[in-house]
Each structure stands twice: as structure tokens, then as C-alpha cells.
Amino acid sequence: MTNTPIEKCEFLHVHEESVRQMRENMPSEEALYDLADFFKLLGDSTRIRILYALLERELCVCDLAGLLGLTQTAVSHQLRLLKSGKLVKARRDGKTVFYSLDDDHVHDILSKGMEHLSE
């Protein structure tokens, strides 16, 4: 194990104006908790696989299960979580329910994540 130096200030000095400005601009604690919950939803590889499959087109539970090699029950469970987190939306056509990404923001987040990883 190597000893990596810990970065720290040479002396204690709070930059009060910077802290004040940031405190004014920080989102509420509730908003930050909601953001953390949002990222927790993205922290599961099965849910990411489902979202990535929905990047191109809407799919039903059967399509997603077949594509991803999962049971319909497993896919339905994950879709329920993604829907409650406003990452996917559902559209009924007769007896079939089709799922798609909720909006362009979800598409952008996935695309930016992949772009970041490929750099």
C-alpha cells in the first residue's frame, strides 16, 4: 500500500464570501436527496440495460425480457422502479403496454455517460 499525500489547506482560512454565495445557490436538502435517489436508480446494471435498450425505440416487457435474457417478472419489477423515478413512461396499445424513455433528458444522461466513458 502506497502512502498518497492527502491534499489539504496549508492553513485554516474560510473564504467567507465564497461560502456565502454557494450557500445561497445550493439546492434544498430535499432536492439533493431526490437527486441522490435518482442516481441510485441508475446504479443498477439491469436498469441501465433496460434504459439503454429503450434509447432507440419503445419496447414491451416481452421484448425487453427476450432481448436482455431476463424473466418478464424481473423486467416488470425494474420497469416499475424506473417508472416511479420518471425515467420511463408507458403507453397501452390494446393488451400490450409499451415502454419508452420518459423524455430527452434521460436519453441525454445515458448518451453523456457513454460519451464520458469512451474518452
Q: Give the model confidence (pLDDT) of 16-29 as tens digits.
A: 888 888 888 899 99
Mean pLDDT of 102-117: 95
Q: How far apart are CA 91 and CA 93, in angstroms?
A: 7
- The total number of structural domains that make up the chain: 1
Asked, for residue 5, whether it belongs to a domain, the answer is: no
Give the domain range for residue 112. Answer: 16-118
Strand partners, 88: 101
Give CA torsion, residues 64, 69, 72, 73, to 10 deg: -130
Measure the CA–CA gap between 114 and 106, rounded to whole angstroms: 13
61 versus 24: which is more confidently predicted? Answer: 61
Amino acid residing at 103: D
Flag whether pLDDT at 40 surpasses 80: yes
Helix, strand, coil shares of the chain, percent, nearest 5, are 55, 10, 30
How high is the pLDDT of residue 13?
Answer: 76
Within a domain: 1: no
At 88, which CATH number? Answer: 1.10.10.10
